[in-house]
Structure 1
Amino acid sequence: MSNVREFRFKTNINCGRCVGAVTPLLDGREEIKSWKVDIASPDKVLTLQTEPQFIPGISAALADIGYYIEQM
């Protein structure tokens, strides 16, 4: 049974180049059903649809390439 939910995070993904940097990582993870980044918002909000147990791994993978996420 799937437990996919939507999660919102503050990030330091703040420009088109940054979005380009995270795209291969986020697109390549099967556990992420969808994602988007609002770089126009003050908090640079990353919205993910995934299951809760995958959040730590996604966070660690983003940290490995220099980006942080903080759940809102």
Structure 2
Amino acid sequence: MRFKTNINCGGCVRGVTPALDGHKSIKRWKVDLESINRILTVHAEDEVSSAEISAGIADAGFIALPV
């Protein structure tokens, strides 16, 4: 799954790390800080929805919109 985010620096990545690493269905993830769109790519099992990931990111104080 891919999301456009407002995660724009290493500090922001550290801010969302607990939410993403703490989700049992997420296997790995990465934010492309070089892209102007700050794309978050999430590799997860089928049981997690993009809405659930967006909500977890929102709880961490950031925005993640599916692309």
Q: Which residue of 2 aligns with 1:13?
A: 7
In the alignment, structure 1 residue 60 sits paired with structure 2 residue 48: no
What is the Cα deviation at residue 54 of structure 1?
2.6
Deviation, structure 1 residue 31: 0.7
Whole-angstrom distance in 2 between the partners of 1:23 and 1:54:
18
User: Higher Cα Rg: structure 1 or 2?
Assistant: 1
Whether the 8 Å CA contact 1:37–1:45 is kept in 2: the answer is: yes
Secondary structure of 1:60's counterpart equals helix
Percent identity over paired residues: 48
The RMSD of aligned alpha carbons is 1.4
Aligned AA (2:5): T
Contact 2:25 2:47 in 1 (8 A): no
TM-score (norm 2): 0.86
5 Å matches for 1:29-48?
Answer: 29-48=23-42
1:18 counterpart SS class: helix
Which of 57, 68, 71 in structure 1 is aligned with 2:66? 71
Count of paired positions: 66
Instruction: Report the TM-score, using the length of structure 1 for normalisation.
Output: 0.81
Could you tell me which runs of 5 or more consecutive residues in structure 1 were left unpaired when the two chains were aligned. Answer: 1-6
Q: What's the offset of the Cα at 1:53?
A: 4.1
